[in-house]
Amino acid sequence: MPHWEEHGATYFVCLTLGRPVRVDLASASIAPMVVDALRFYDQKHYDLYDYTVMPDHLHIIIKPLANDDGTERLGYIMRNLKRWMTRRIKELVPGAEVRWQDEDYDHIIRNREDYEEKAKYIFENAWAAGLVSDPLAWPWWGRGSGE
């Protein structure tokens, strides 16, 4: 299904593993690699604002960068991220089955209030899920180069 994309837009995106989930993205062996992947593409294909890595999904706020054709396509960015993370997870956890949901959830950030709402959601996600008693204790939350 095509997603609405807008030149210069900033997006809130959720990438989710397919069911049944067979790997824990937030495990100590996988989460650092997921964060490295997000940071690797930061300022190459997008500006990374906020992110959190959860056991079966990750949330990010990104702004695709301009290129010769206009703007990096969000679908292209997500496919590359998922492909790279899948390959690395299989290297880190031999025999791991990694399957992503076909559709990612994406939302165009409309204004500062919308951004702050989504950034707060990302920051509090692990706490709301009962994984930590304080959002600051979640080691897989952070910010990229975006302002």
The residues, any chain, with a CB within 8 Å of residue 138's CB and separated by 6 or more, are 52, 125, 126, 127, 131, 132
Pairing of strands 66-67, 70-71: antiparallel
- Residue ranges in 1-147 assigned as alpha helix (H): 31-41, 74-92, 112-128
Residue-wise pLDDT tens digits, 4-54: 677 788 999 999 999 988 999 999 999 999 999 999 999 999 999 999 999
Domain for residue 36, yes or no?
Answer: yes
> What is the domain count for the chain?
1
Domain for residue 88, yes or no?
Answer: yes
* pLDDT bucket at 146, cuts 50 / 70 / 90: confident
Domain for residue 6, yes or no?
Answer: no
Q: What is the CATH number of the domain that holds 76?
A: 3.30.70.1290
Task: Supply the range of the domain harboring residue 19.
Answer: 11-127
Closest Cα partner for 131 from 76, 53, 70, 63? Answer: 53
Question: Three-state SS for 100?
Answer: strand
The residues, any chain, with a CB within 8 Å of residue 68's CB and separated by 6 or more, are none
pLDDT at 36 (0 to 100): 94
Average pLDDT value for residue range 58-64: 96
Domain for residue 136, yes or no?
Answer: no
